[in-house]
Amino acid sequence: MNIPSAPIRGVTTILLQDGSEITLDAIETSAHGQAILAEIDEAILAIEGQFAFGRETDDPSWRTRAEIALKRKRRSRPLLQERIGVLRRAERSLALGASQAAVSSKVDAKRQAFVHAAYELLGHEACTEVWARAQQKQPGLFADGRGPDA
């Protein structure tokens, strides 16, 4: 689904119950989006309930305004759900990336500890020979030209 580029009041700019407005792009977390979606669903149910129970009013334009509000609320739901989905995927990706970075840094720390211990046990000459041998076996990994001390 493609979100329209120009804001449409009541659809891509959502009217909240407190009278404020928020654009879909301003929703920064999936939890915030879920709260707004719950508010929209509540408003839809309230309007439908007023229609079902034949709410009487002295204002002849009430029904027209209520129908327009209902239509806008219903049209904003899929766009908001899409935004929530995008935010959830981004949040999951960020969480997964953080956990992978933690694992990666732990593995890197273990490798570094191994290299330092091997350097202490084998000495500079032997480590330089191992480095040269590794460079011969996989030259693509050593393209930066840095030596074993880097």
Read off the pLDDT of residues 5-21 as tens digits, 9 standing for 90 and up.
566 665 678 888 888 88
40, 80 contact by CB (below 8 A) = yes
Read off the pLDDT of residues 117-144 as tens digits, 9 standing for 90 and up.
888 888 888 888 888 888 888 888 877 7
Read off the pLDDT of residues 26-84 as tens digits, 9 standing for 90 and up.
899 999 999 999 999 999 999 898 888 877 677 778 888 889 989 989 998 999 999 99
Q: Single out the residue of 27, 19, 21 nearest to residue 3, CA to CA.
A: 27
Q: The pTM is what?
A: 0.57
Kindly compute the dihedral angle of the four CA atoms of residues 8, 12, 13, 17, in this order, to the nearest 10 degrees.
120
